[in-house]
Amino acid sequence: MADDLFISHHEYEITAIRAQGAGGQNINKVSNAVHLRYDVRASSLAEDHKERLLALHDHRITRDGVIVIKAQQHRSLEMNREEAVRRLHELVQSVATPPRVRRATRPTRASRVRRVDAKVQRGQIKALRGRVTD
């Protein structure tokens, strides 16, 4: 189910911008970095996918529910565009499968015994740190 997610290229907007950082004379005249904007609320994703995506505490998701991805690693605009789309797909895929529901269980008897034994041993170590008396 997770592999059949499809994001149409009409749902996101890609803008070419100038990249930051070092790059010599080429950096000042070529717009080869990209900003990808994807509105989660207006997307064609299923409602549960949207909820899980908006619940992520990710710096790329704005308060308005828009994912903003900046790609500037490559020198070519096309490769940066592909990189941004790939990262968007990875982010959406990360919430595709619902998290497993955790069922509360009690600790086993053996684990409780190990815990108490470790506490006793630690207490004995600390007791030996006291003053030495003859």
Where do the structural domains in the chain lie, given as residue ranges?
Answer: 2-94
* Short-list 56, 57, 14, 13, CA closest to 33: 14
What is the reported pTM? Answer: 0.68
The pLDDT assigned to 81 comes to: 92
The pLDDT assigned to 118 comes to: 98
How is domain 2-94 classified at the CATH fold level? Double Stranded RNA Binding Domain (3.30.160)
The pLDDT assigned to 1 comes to: 41
> For residue 12, what is the enclosing H or E element?
strand 12-17
The pLDDT assigned to 34 comes to: 92
Walking along the chain (134 residues) 10 residues at a time, the average pLDDT comes out as 68 86 66 89 88 90 92 88 93 89 95 98 92 79
For 81, residues 6+ apart whose C-beta sits below 8 A from its C-beta are 14, 34, 36, 71
Q: What whole-number distance in Å separates Cα of residue 72 and Cα of residue 85?
A: 13
The pLDDT assigned to 9 comes to: 81
Which of the 8 DSSP states describes residue 60?
T
| Plot region of 21 (φ>0 → left; ψ -120 to 50 → alpha; else → beta) | left
